Amino acid sequence: MRRFFVAGNWKMNKTIAEAKALIGALSPELATIDNVDHAVAPSYLALPAVAGLCKGTGIKVGAQNLHWETAGAYTGEVAPPMVAELCDFVIVGHSERRKFFGETDESVNQRLKAALAVGLDVIVCIGETLEENEAGQTEAVVTRQLEVGLAEISETQAAAITIAYEPVWAIGTGRAATPEDANNVHKNVIRPFLREQFGEARAELMRIQYGGSVTPDNAAELFAMSDIDGGLIGGASLKPESFIAIVKAASMVAIVQQESQS
Sign of CA dihedral 20, 50, 69, 98: negative
Tell me the backbone φ, ψ of residue 9, rounded to 5 degrees. Answer: -100, 105
> CB of 253: closest distance to ligand 13P in angstroms?
18
Contact with ligand 13P (CB under 6 A) among 62, 80, 93, 211:
211
Bridge partners of residue 126, in order along the sequence: 165
Q: Is 166 considered catalytic here?
A: yes
d(C-alpha 194, C-alpha 155), whole Å: 10
d(C-alpha 71, C-alpha 100), whole Å: 24
Contact with ligand 13P (CB under 6 A) among 212, 218, 225, 246:
212
From the number of C-beta atoms within 10 Å of its C-beta (0-12, 13-18, 19+), residue 136 rates as exposed
> CB of 70: closest distance to ligand 13P in angstroms?
26
Radius of gyration of the chain (CA): 17
Contact with ligand 13P (CB under 6 A) among 4, 9, 38, 141:
9
Largest CA distance in the chain: 56
Contact with ligand 13P (CB under 6 A) among 93, 167, 235, 240:
235
Number of residues lying near ligand 13P (CB under 6 A): 14
> CB of 83: closest distance to ligand 13P in angstroms?
17
Pairing state between β 121-126 and 89-92? parallel
- Residue of minimal Cβ distance to ligand 13P: 234
Q: Is 241 considered catalytic here?
A: no
DSSP letter, residue 3:
P
Contact with ligand 13P (CB under 6 A) among 65, 133, 145, 213:
213
* 34-73 residues near ligand 13P, rule: CB under 6 A: none
* 141-180 residues near ligand 13P, rule: CB under 6 A: 166, 171-172
Residues near 158 by Cβ (< 8 Å), separated by ≥ 6?
150, 194, 197, 198, 202, 206
Nearer to ligand 13P, 97 or 202 (CB): 97
d(C-alpha 134, C-alpha 141), whole Å: 12
Pairing state between β 208-211 and 230-233? parallel
Nearer to ligand 13P, 236 or 254 (CB): 236
- Catalytic residue of the set 94, 96, 103, 186: 94
d(C-alpha 7, C-alpha 91), whole Å: 10
Nearer to ligand 13P, 230 or 235 (CB): 235
Contact with ligand 13P (CB under 6 A) among 51, 208, 233, 250:
233
Tell me the backbone φ, ψ of residue 91, rounded to 5 degrees. Answer: -95, 135
* 93-152 residues near ligand 13P, rule: CB under 6 A: 94
Nearer to ligand 13P, 3 or 99 (CB): 99
Contact with ligand 13P (CB under 6 A) among 177, 185, 232, 246:
232
Binding site for ligand 13P (CB under 6 A): 9, 94, 166, 171-172, 211-214, 232-236
Task: Cite the active site residues.
Answer: 94, 166
